[in-house]
Amino acid sequence: MKTDNKIKMFAVAATVLATAACTDTWDEHYGNEGRPVSDKSLLQVMEEQRDLGDFLKVLRATHVFNNNKPTNVTYADLLASDQTFTVWAPKDGQFNVDSLLEECLTVSGDSMCGQHFVQNHIAHFITNSTDMKSVLMLNNKYLDASPGFFQGVTYESGRANEAAKNGILHVLSGELPYLYNVYEALTTLSEYSGIGSFFKRYEKLELDENSSIQSGIVDGNIVYSDSVMVTTNILFSRFDRINEEDSSFIMLVPETRVWDKAYDEAQSYFNYGSVNQADSLQRLYAHQALIRDLVYNRNIGCSHMADSVYSIAYNKYDEERRHVYYKPLAAGGIFSSDFVRDTMACSNGAIYNLYEWPFNPEDIYFYPVKTEAEYESMMTDYEDCTYASRSSVADSISDGYLVISPRTNSSNWTMEFQVPNVLSGTYDVCAVVLPRTVYNASDRNFRPCKFTASISYETEDGVEQTYDFEDEVQNDPYRVDTVKIGTFTVPVCSYGQPDAKVHLTLECSISRSESGRYNREMYLDCLYFKPNREEK
Per-residue pLDDT of 11-41, as tens digits, reads: 343 333 333 333 333 343 333 444 456 899 9
Per-residue pLDDT of 335-345, as tens digits, reads: 999 999 999 99
- List beta partners, residue 348: none
Q: How many CB atoms lie within 10 A of CB 394?
A: 5
Q: How wide is the angle at C-alpha 175 spanned by C-alphas 173 and 180, nearest 5°?
A: 150
Q: What is the mean pLDDT of residues 411-423?
A: 97
Q: How far is Cα of residue 97 from the mean position of the Cα atoms in its chain?
A: 37
pTM value? 0.82
Asked if residues 354 and 341 have their Cβ atoms less than 8 Å apart, the reply is yes
pLDDT at residue 172 in the model: 97
Per-residue pLDDT of 213-271, as tens digits, reads: 666 676 667 665 556 667 788 888 888 899 999 889 999 999 999 999 999 999 999 99
Which letter does DSSP use for residue 437 in this model? G
pLDDT at residue 316 in the model: 86
Q: What is the DSSP string of 449-517?
A: PEEEEEEEEE-TTS-EEEEE-SS-EE--TTS-EEEEEEEEE--S--TT-SS-SEEEEEEE---GGGTTT
Rounded to whole angstroms, how far apart are CA atoms 527 and 517? Answer: 24
Of 434, 464, 451, 448, which is closest to residue 373 (Cα–Cα)? 434
Query: Has residue 429 got a pLDDT over 90?
Result: yes
Rounded to whole angstroms, how far apart are CA atoms 203 and 219? Answer: 30
pLDDT at residue 535 in the model: 62
pLDDT band at 170; cut points 50, 70, 90: very high
Rounded to whole angstroms, how far apart are CA atoms 240 and 302? Answer: 14
pLDDT at residue 72 in the model: 94
Q: What is the mean pLDDT of residues 370-396?
A: 88
Q: First-to-last CA distance in the chain?
A: 47
Query: Has residue 169 got a pLDDT over 60?
Result: yes
pLDDT at residue 240 in the model: 87
Q: How far is Cα of residue 494 from the mean position of the Cα atoms in its chain?
A: 22
3-class SS letters over 188-202: HCHHHHHHHHHHHCC
Set out the domains of the chain in order of their start, with CATH numbers.
Answer: 6-178 (2.30.180.10), 183-356 (no CATH), 369-535 (2.60.120.260)
Which letter does DSSP use for residue 444 in this model? -
pLDDT at residue 22 in the model: 37
Amino acid at 349: G
Rounded to whole angstroms, how far apart are CA atoms 294 and 291? Answer: 5
pLDDT band at 421; cut points 50, 70, 90: very high
% of the chain with per-residue pLDDT over 70: 88
Query: Has residue 10 got a pLDDT over 50?
Result: no
Query: Has residue 394 got a pLDDT over 70?
Result: no
Query: Has residue 2 got a pLDDT over 60?
Result: no
Query: Has residue 5 got a pLDDT over 50?
Result: no
Of residues 532 and 21, the one with the higher pLDDT is 532
Candidate from 52-56, 144-148, 391-395, 523-527 with smallest mean pLDDT: 391-395
Query: Has residue 180 got a pLDDT over 50?
Result: yes
Query: Has residue 530 got a pLDDT over 50?
Result: yes
Q: What are phi and psi of 296, to 5 degrees?
A: -135, 125
pLDDT at residue 361 in the model: 96
Per-residue pLDDT of 434-466, as tens digits, reads: 999 988 888 889 999 999 999 999 999 999 999
Of residues 392 and 58, the one with the higher pLDDT is 58
Query: Has residue 69 got a pLDDT over 60?
Result: yes
pLDDT band at 208; cut points 50, 70, 90: low
Q: What is the mean pLDDT of residues 418-427?
A: 97
pLDDT at residue 303 in the model: 87
Query: Has residue 295 got a pLDDT over 50?
Result: yes
pLDDT at residue 225 in the model: 54
When the pLDDT of each residue in the chain is averaged and rounded to a whole number, the result is: 89
pLDDT at residue 1 in the model: 37
| CA distances, 94 to each of 42, 54, 84, 161, 177 (Å) | 21, 9, 26, 20, 11
Per-residue pLDDT of 473-527, as tens digits, reads: 999 999 999 999 999 999 999 999 999 999 999 999 999 999 999 999 999 999 9
Query: Has residue 206 got a pLDDT over 50?
Result: yes
